[in-house]
Amino acid sequence: MFQKQKLENLSVEELEQALLLKKRQARLERFQRLSGRARSTNEALLGEEWQPAKKVTAPAAQPSIVTSPERPKSWRDTLLLGLEVTAVIGLVAVLTASYFNLRELNDEVAVAQQNLLVQEPAVEVAPAAPIALARLPGGHTPPTAPGGAMPDVPLHLQAWVQPATAASASAAAVEITKPEVMAPTRIVIPKINVDAPIVNGVNWEDLKKGVGHLPGSAHPGQRGNLYLAAHNDIYGEIFRYLGDLEIGDDYFIYAGEQKFHYVVKERRIIEPTEVDVMMPTTEPISTLQTCYPYLIDTHRLIVVGELAE
Cis peptide, bond prior to residue 63, ω within 30 of zero:
no
Q: What per-residue confidence (pLDDT) applies to 19?
A: 84
CA 240 vs CA 213, 243, 263, 270: distances in Å: 18, 8, 19, 17
pLDDT digits (tens, 9 = 90+) for 35-45: 766 555 666 55
Which residues touch 210 (CB under 8 Å, ≥6 apart)? 113, 116, 196, 197, 198, 199, 230, 236, 238
State how far the Cα of 59 lies from the Cα of 113, in Å rounded to an integer: 83
pLDDT at 288 over 70: yes
Q: Measured at the alpha carbon of residue 267, what is the angle toward residues 261 and 273, in degrees to the nearest 5?
A: 115
Is there a contact between 187 and 211 (Cβ–Cβ < 8 Å)? yes
pLDDT at 129 over 50: no
Is there a contact between 221 and 307 (Cβ–Cβ < 8 Å)? yes
Beta bridge mates, 255: 258
Which residues touch 133 (CB under 8 Å, ≥6 apart)? 158, 161, 162, 163, 202, 203
Q: What per-residue confidence (pLDDT) applies to 219?
A: 96
Is there a contact between 118 and 240 (Cβ–Cβ < 8 Å)? no
Look over the chain and give the mean of its residue pLDDT values, rounded to a whole number: 76
Which residues touch 292 (CB under 8 Å, ≥6 apart)? 232, 243, 269, 298, 299, 300, 301
Helix (H, G, I), strand (E, B) or coil at 120: coil
Q: Measured at the alpha carbon of residue 293, what is the angle toward residues 292 and 298, in degrees to the nearest 5?
A: 65
b/e burial code for range 70-94 (CB count within 10 A of at least 16 → b) = eeeeeeeeeeeeeeeeeeeeeeeee
Q: Which of 32, 2, 5 is nearest to 20 (CA)?
A: 2
Q: What per-residue confidence (pLDDT) applies to 41?
A: 60
Beta bridge mates, 25: none
Write out the DSSP string of 49-86. Answer: T--PPPPP-PPPPPPP---PPPPPPPHHHHHHHHHHHH
User: Rounded to 5, what percent of the chain is helix, strand, coil?
Assistant: 35, 20, 45
Model pTM score: 0.56
pLDDT digits (tens, 9 = 90+) for 19-29: 888 888 888 88
pLDDT digits (tens, 9 = 90+) for 170-194: 444 444 444 467 999 999 999 999 9
pLDDT digits (tens, 9 = 90+) for 39-85: 556 665 555 555 555 555 555 555 555 555 555 668 888 888 889 99
pLDDT digits (tens, 9 = 90+) for 88-101: 999 999 888 878 87
State how far the Cα of 307 lies from the Cα of 201, in Å rounded to an integer: 22
Of 31-35, 157-161, 175-179, give the range with the top mean pLDDT.
31-35
Alpha helices in 119-182 (DSSP H): 166-176
Q: Measured at the alpha carbon of residue 106, what is the angle toward residues 102 and 109, in degrees to the nearest 5?
A: 155
Active-site residue list? 231, 291
State how far the Cα of 297 lies from the Cα of 238, in Å rounded to an integer: 15
